[in-house]
Amino acid sequence: MSDVASFTGVSVRRGKATVLSEVNLTLPAGQIIGLLGPSGAGKSTIMRALVGVQSKVSGTVSVLGLPAGSASLATRVAYSTQASSVFDDLNVRQNLEFARTMIGAPAERVDAVLGEVGLTEYANQKVENLSGGQRNRVSLAIAMLGSPELLILDEPTVGLDPVLRAEIWTIFRQLANTGKTLLVSSHVMDEAERCDRLIFVRDGRVIANDTLANILLTTNSTSAENAFLALARKQVA
């Protein structure tokens, strides 16, 4: 399968406001896809629609060949929200064991994902004693427990310093190299350079869906931020 998900004519209304407007896009398999835009642009709505938990969706959202939210996608798609998904008073292993039980993942997945995110030596430490970067790795490990084909990560590097952000992105690249697809939302434009493909969102509309190289070329820009601004001005005009 070349695409893991698609949106066809997808719109979402909240009260009288349109938060997504006629979105058409596809997510190619085995890539890191950056979902970039300012707060309130519609990024979280797109992610929630993919998981099948967004209400008042018109149009069609398909994930791995099935309607978004289908029961059989429970372990094939993982969604890590910006809000904390870990318990501070439990250690790392206990957090993973609890999550594993909830989704019915095999017991051996706990040690496997601890190794994949570099937390094996911290397995018995309480989460409240971890650094921000390590805490984010715990959330990522929980998302990986079911061996998902698609990982949807909402602002996974928010609040991290450049060194910790680089470490997290190294893990993302390793996951993509194994064939997994990652949709990573961010409002930090320099993270665009770490993605294989970019989706720029503004005011509920997709204003770009291409590689960074092509976006820079078509906007005659030298950075993702300048390209976004150029596209935003064009949208207003």
pLDDT in tens, 16-62: 888 999 999 999 999 999 999 998 899 999 999 999 999 999 999 99
Distance between CA atoms of residues 31 and 5, nearest Å: 12
Q: What stretches of the chain show up as alpha helix (H) in DSSP?
A: 43-51, 92-103, 109-116, 132-144, 162-177, 212-219, 224-236
The answer on pLDDT for 1 being more than 60 is: no
Range 64-89 average pLDDT: 89
Q: What is the pLDDT of residues 148-204, one digit of tens each?
A: 999 999 988 887 888 888 888 999 999 999 999 999 998 888 889 999 999 999 999
> What pTM did the predictor assign?
0.91
Q: pLDDT digit string (tens) for 209-232? A: 999 999 999 999 999 999 999 999
Report pLDDT for 237.
66
- Residue 157: the pLDDT is 85
